[in-house]
Amino acid sequence: MSPNVYNVSYTHAAGNSGSAARGARYVTRRPDLSREERGEGREPTRESEWREIEYVGDRERFVREANRRRNEKRELAERNGKDFSKDRSPGAAQYVHVVISPENGRQMSDGDFYGIAREWTHDEAGRELPHVGAVHRDSGSAGSGEGHDHLHLLIARDKFGKEELAERKERSEELVRDIERFRGLERETGRHIGRELPGPGTPEREMER
């Protein structure tokens, strides 16, 4: 993937019925860890306190549409006597998960992130797709408490085609470069692109990193 669009994956509509709701909860809630706990690389547990954070999109609309897609596609496959779990067509996706992780994310505002997100949340005709997204700024790596600020974006839609994905990535890159020029930012060096970022559930990969 590109330096700024870290990952694009999708969740198959044959998956668990609660996947969309769990994904939306993950995106819009963060653990209430102290600075010391984050500095130690402490991971949240079920007993941790969680708080809702600012997000874009309509969470309930996203979950409804993702579930509608799942139910509709499963029922159609059953009527046709097909094993839907083996369907790898673009329309087999329940929703798409995009992670935007600019090298200078820590110096970008939430508004900057949400401006980039618009390149992914609208179709080619400019219509807004059901989605939910939020910026995560507390994802420290184990033992250091330092992580790259990034945006998780869930969109109820088909998988991106190869050409469409390339175009959206390029537009995102252009927006990031515009923001960097406007703010006078220099890209960090020595960045480890292959780091792991947490995500909602375990969606099936659409593309390799």
Listed as ranges, residues in the chain with pLDDT below 70 are 1-4, 6, 34-35, 37-42, 138-147, 185-209
Q: Does 206 fall in a domain? A: no
Longest dimension (CA), the chain: 58
**Domain-embedded: residue 94:** yes
Cβ-Cβ contacts under 8 Å for 198 (sequence gap 6 or more): 26, 139
φ, ψ at 164 (rounded to 5°): -65, -40
Does residue 34 belong to any structural domain of this protein?
yes
Instruction: Express each pLDDT in 102-144 by its tens digit.
Output: 888 888 899 999 999 999 999 888 999 999 999 998 664 433 3
* Residue 142 pLDDT: 36
- Please give the residue range of the domain that contains residue 19: 5-192
Q: Of 106, 115, 108, 120, whose CA–CA distance to 181 is shortest?
A: 108
For residue 93, what pLDDT is reported? 95
How many C-beta atoms surround the C-beta of residue 142 within 10 A? 9
Dist. CA 192–CA 183, nearest whole Å: 23
Confidence at residue 92, expressed as pLDDT on a 0 to 100 scale: 94
Whether residue 95 is contained in a domain is answered as yes
In a domain, 102, yes or no: yes
Count of structural domains, the chain? 1
Q: Is residue 197 part of a domain?
A: no
* DSSP class per residue in 36-82: HHHHTTPPP-TTS-EEE---EE-HHHHHHHHHHHHHHHHHHHHHTT-
Residue 132 lies in a domain: yes
Domain assignment of residue 199, yes or no:
no
